[in-house]
């Protein structure tokens, strides 16, 4: 945008905002930005070039992208399809957490279901996490249909000496479910699952499991764009953890949880437009990862030096720093992490290439991500948005490979 175009665009945004009866603060909160950022946009200081930000601003103003900015790429007429609700493989799991998990236990003193062992439940929960890391959400939802009520019963009816371990497995299960809901843009359900994981972790007597649950809770708040709640929950937990770290030799698990909370704070501040705070929290996470000295998977957080750099790429993309994202991301060796983490890195590289309008490189990164984790690309809200943006930018010159990818991901425009 030229300075004149920025000023004209800013006047247009201000007019549309006032027509909706919104203050700058109200609109900024609705789209996950700061009032300062919006003020700079309206004054023609801050350019808005990214298609995803333009679309988000248009949604907040209640207008189409073309009404907000007439020169924005129009949907490709040949590929237009009726709008349908996007599939969600976690619908069954969402119903599962609606209401009290096992109301019959409140009334039946001696359940007839055969008892289960801690080892049996642990193996089942390990499988739940495998499905979560693999983005196999339909299988996850099916597995939880019978497993979750069994663990809920066991935690309440097992012999007293076994109950803490049963509560621990229940907490791990709800954390997995919260992580899955976040990835499918189900922030409200992720909030419920995270809250239940925290309660179960308290009953287990494992304090660090509670803090891992708080990490999932903060992630849910970020997905809901409740950045103040994400900041409050993560910061409160960090204050307690950092006091613990100062008082003695910290465990590796404690370092993993602490570093992960700094990462979710970095993400929250990047999404809300607070660039300095996002950078500060990333630096803190990086220092903790160096103390840890290796990539670990405590509480299924996958925290370590490599994951910090992967998150650095994701946050750089959120901040619009595509050059930094590509510089860091193309040097990362993520082969030691889960397929989901590797695929997420490739997705973020695809987003960065899209910001740079390097369409061939963007498509190549997304196709490699699809090979590693098809469900991530086919169901993740960010993946679909990136594919749609590629289609809109490419227009009628979109390649058959891109069109086929859009078809597989149900991401047509």
HEC secondary structure over 299-356: HHCCCCHHHHHHHHHHHHHHCCCHHHHHHHHCCCCCCCCCHHHHHHHHHHHHHHHHHC
Instruction: Tell me, yes or no, whether 66 and 151 share the same domain.
Output: no
CB neighbours of residue 332 within 10 Å: 18
pLDDT tens-place string over residues 370-380: 999 898 888 78
Instruction: Tell me, yes or no, whether 129 and 23 share the same domain.
Output: no
- Residue-level pLDDT at 39: 87
- Residue-level pLDDT at 88: 59
Measured distance CA(172)–CA(300) in Å, rounded: 9
- Assigned domain for 238 exists: no
- Residue-level pLDDT at 242: 85
- Assigned domain for 370 exists: yes
- Residue-level pLDDT at 90: 84
What is the CATH number for 328? 1.25.40
Task: Please give the residue that has the higher pLDDT: either 14 or 56.
Answer: 14
Measured distance CA(111)–CA(92) in Å, rounded: 24
Instruction: Tell me, yes or no, whether 48 and 157 share the same domain.
Output: no
pLDDT at 359 over 80: yes
pLDDT at 381 over 90: no
pLDDT tens-place string over residues 72-83: 655 444 334 444
Measured distance CA(250)–CA(243) in Å, rounded: 10
Instruction: Tell me, yes or no, whether 105 and 187 share the same domain.
Output: yes
- Assigned domain for 278 exists: no
Across the chain, mean pLDDT equals 87
pLDDT tens-place string over residues 345-356: 999 999 999 989
Residue 130's pLDDT band, with cuts at 50, 70 and 90, is very high
- Residue-level pLDDT at 55: 79
Q: Are 372 and 380 in contact (CB under 8 A)?
A: no
- Residue-level pLDDT at 20: 81
- Residue-level pLDDT at 278: 93
- Tell me what the mean pLDDT of segment 307-328 comes to: 92
Beta strands in 72-125 (DSSP E): none
Parent domain of 407: 304-413
pLDDT tens-place string over residues 21-52: 888 888 887 777 777 788 888 888 887 877 77
Task: Give me the percent of the chain exceeding a pLDDT of 90.
Answer: 52
Measured distance CA(43)–CA(392) in Å, rounded: 28
- Residue-level pLDDT at 301: 94
Q: How is 352-410 classified by DSSP, letter by letter? A: HHHHTT-HHHHHHHHHHHHHH-HHHHHH-HHHHHHHHHHHHHHGGG--HHHHHHHHHTT
In the 8-state DSSP scheme, what is residue 18? H
Quote the tokens at residue 40. 């700079």
pLDDT at 288 over 70: yes
Task: Please give the residue that has the higher pLDDT: either 77 or 194.
Answer: 194
- Residue-level pLDDT at 60: 84
- Tell me what the mean pLDDT of segment 309-317 comes to: 93
- Assigned domain for 249 exists: no
Provide the number of structural domains found in the chain. Answer: 3
Instruction: Tell me, yes or no, whether 117 and 170 share the same domain.
Output: yes
Burial class (CB in 10 A: 0-12, 13-18, 19+), 365: buried
Instruction: Tell me, yes or no, whether 99 and 184 share the same domain.
Output: yes
Instruction: Tell me, yes or no, whether 92 and 198 share the same domain.
Output: yes
- Assigned domain for 77 exists: no
- Residue-level pLDDT at 112: 53
Lowest mean pLDDT among 1-5, 55-59, 128-132, 301-305: 1-5
Q: Which residues contact 82 (CB under 8 A, 6 or more apart)?
A: none
- Tell me what the mean pLDDT of segment 383-412 comes to: 88
- Cut 0.85: pTM above it: no
Instruction: Tell me, yes or no, whether 21 and 57 share the same domain.
Output: yes
In the 8-state DSSP scheme, what is residue 79? G
- Residue-level pLDDT at 73: 55
Instruction: Tell me, yes or no, whether 63 and 88 share the same domain.
Output: no
Measured distance CA(41)–CA(33) in Å, rounded: 11
Instruction: Tell me, yes or no, whether 352 and 310 share the same domain.
Output: yes
- Assigned domain for 230 exists: no
Residue where one domain finishes, among candidates 155, 178, 205: 205
- Assigned domain for 152 exists: yes
Instruction: Tell me, yes or no, whether 144 and 68 share the same domain.
Output: no
Residue where one domain finishes, among candidates 46, 72, 98: 72
Instruction: Tell me, yes or no, whether 36 and 140 share the same domain.
Output: no
Residue where one domain finishes, among candidates 175, 205, 235: 205
- Assigned domain for 325 exists: yes
């Amino acid at each position: 945008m030229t300075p004149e175009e920025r000023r004209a665009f800013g006047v247009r945004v201000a007019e549309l905002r006032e027509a909706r009866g919104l203050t700058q603060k109200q609109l900024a909160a609705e789209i996950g930005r700061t009032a300062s950022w919006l003020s700079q946009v309206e004054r023609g200081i801050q350019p808005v070039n990214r298609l995803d930000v333009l679309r988000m601003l248009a949604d907040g103003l209640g207008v189409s992208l073309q009404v907000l900015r007439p020169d924005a790429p129009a949907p490709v007429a040949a590929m237009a399809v009726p709008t349908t609700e996007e599939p969600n493989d976690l619908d069954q799991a969402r119903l599962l957490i609606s209401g009290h998990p096992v109301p019959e236990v409140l009334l039946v003193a001696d359940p007839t279901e055969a008892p289960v062992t801690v080892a049996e439940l642990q193996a089942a929960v390990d499988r739940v996490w495998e499905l979560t890391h693999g983005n196999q959400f339909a299988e996850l939802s099916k597995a939880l249909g019978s497993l979750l009520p069994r663990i809920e019963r066991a935690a309440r009816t097992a012999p007293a000496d076994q109950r803490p371990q049963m509560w621990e497995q229940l907490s791990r299960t709800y954390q997995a479910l919260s992580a899955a809901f976040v990835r499918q843009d189900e922030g409200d359900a992720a909030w419920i699952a995270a809250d239940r994981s925290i309660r179960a972790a308290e009953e287990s007597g494992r304090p660090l499991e509670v803090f891992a649950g708080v990490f999932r809770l903060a992630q849910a708040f970020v997905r809901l764009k409740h950045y103040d709640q994400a900041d409050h929950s993560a910061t409160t937990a960090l204050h307690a953890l950092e006091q613990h770290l100062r008082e003695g030799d910290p465990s590796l698990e404690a370092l993993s949880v602490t570093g992960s909370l700094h990462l979710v704070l970095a993400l929250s501040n990047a999404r809300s437009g607070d660039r300095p705070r996002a950078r500060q929290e990333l630096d803190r996470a990086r220092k903790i990862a160096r103390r840890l000295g290796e990539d670990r998977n405590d509480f299924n957080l996958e925290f370590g030096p490599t994951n910090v750099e992967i998150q650095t790429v994701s946050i750089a993309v959120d901040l619009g720093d595509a050059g930094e994202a590509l510089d860091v991301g193309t040097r990362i060796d993520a082969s030691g992490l889960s397929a989901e983490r590797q695929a997420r890195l490739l997705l973020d590289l695809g987003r960065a290439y899209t910001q740079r309008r390097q369409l061939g490189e963007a498509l190549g990164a997304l196709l490699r991500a699809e090979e590693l984790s098809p469900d991530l690309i086919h169901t993740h809200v960010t993946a679909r948005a990136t594919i749609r943006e590629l289609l809109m930018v490419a227009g009628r010159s979109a390649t058959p490979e891109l069109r086929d990818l859009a078809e597989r991901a149900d991401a047509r425009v």
